[in-house]
Amino acid sequence: MNTAEMTAKIAEGNGFIAALDQSGGSTPKALKGYGVEEHEYSGDDEMFAKIHEMRCRIVTSPSFNGDKVVGAILFEKTMNGCTDDGTPVPTQLANRGIVPFLKVDAGMHDTENGVQLMKDMPRLEEMCARGKELGVFGTKMRSVIHEANAQGIAANVKQQMDFGLRILDNGLMPILEPEASLASDSRAEAEALLLTNMLEQLDRLGDDQRVMLKLTIPAEANLYQPLVDHPKVLRVVALSGGYSREDACRELAKNSGMIASFSRALLEELRAQMDDQQFDDALSSAIDTIHAASVAG
């Protein structure tokens, strides 16, 4: 797929984006959920090798194809890795009709003013260049909103767009992900502030520029419809945010135009101990369920 084909696939495709970008902090938990205990690996290199095996097993499974999965977000080590036949993972995805994205953020600062801002990304241009070389279409970066603090939310959304504009300058499509925490006591108010600030930040984009948004499924159904309909937003996707797959799919289906970009909700029934048929059956079931919720609206 070329860039125009990838853009059309994301904008118009009836499916969802798989989030396969667990990073250092979340990798042990992801592996444990997959049935790999911490005593089965030693150090970061072995840990990332284990999670890479899991990701490669997913992207090479028969059910993981462009019919229902329109995109996949990769961790950098996965992007730079290869599947068993030596094919780079972004190429493997594109050959299956799946648009590849790259997680580019370098983690977050501690909470201040009710939010966690992203750390600086000194390697951003380097990562974008490597991603383009391997056929990656876009990027993703995450920050978190913990409470309805107007100053904090404004800073959070502005920072997302600041980096988004840099990514656009490097020729990739940014996914901005200011996650509103499901645990927040002021989540609904925080999401309303997030909407207002995002609409303001979208005005910074040029006439020929668009971004994608990855947002928590809102407490108020269809709150983000102005973003879904916005001419400078290619697609709005939803994170599962700690919901179970059943709960995430139920809540997502209430929101018109949003599609899933789930991680834990996609992987929750996959186990390392499964044989290939069991693994693909479990993955296929998850894909079918998440796809149905993504096209329900």
For the question of residue 68 being annotated catalytic, the response is: no
Between CA 273 and CA 270 the distance in angstroms is 9
**pLDDT at 81 > cutoff 90:** no
pLDDT in tens, 112-149: 999 999 999 999 999 999 999 999 999 999 999 999 99
**pLDDT at 180 > cutoff 80:** yes
**pLDDT at 297 > cutoff 70:** no
The pair phi, psi for residue 59, each rounded to 5°, is -70, -15
Catalytic residue among 50, 140, 177, 179: 177
**pLDDT at 10 > cutoff 70:** yes
The pair phi, psi for residue 125, each rounded to 5°, is -65, -40
Determine the straight-line distance between the first and last CA of the chain, rounded to whole angstroms: 27
**pLDDT at 26 > cutoff 90:** no
pLDDT in tens, 234-282: 999 999 998 999 999 999 999 999 999 998 899 999 999 999 999 999 9
Please report which confidence band the pLDDT of residue 94 belongs to, taking 50, 70 and 90 as the band edges: very high
CATH fold of 3-295 reads TIM Barrel (3.20.20)
* Helices (runs of H) and strands (runs of E) counted in the chain: 12, 9
Average pLDDT on 13-35 reads 86
For the question of residue 177 being annotated catalytic, the response is: yes
Identify the pLDDT of residue 44.
Answer: 87
Catalytic residue among 9, 68, 140, 214: 214
**Which has the closest alpha carbon to 143: 112, 174, 177, 104?**
177
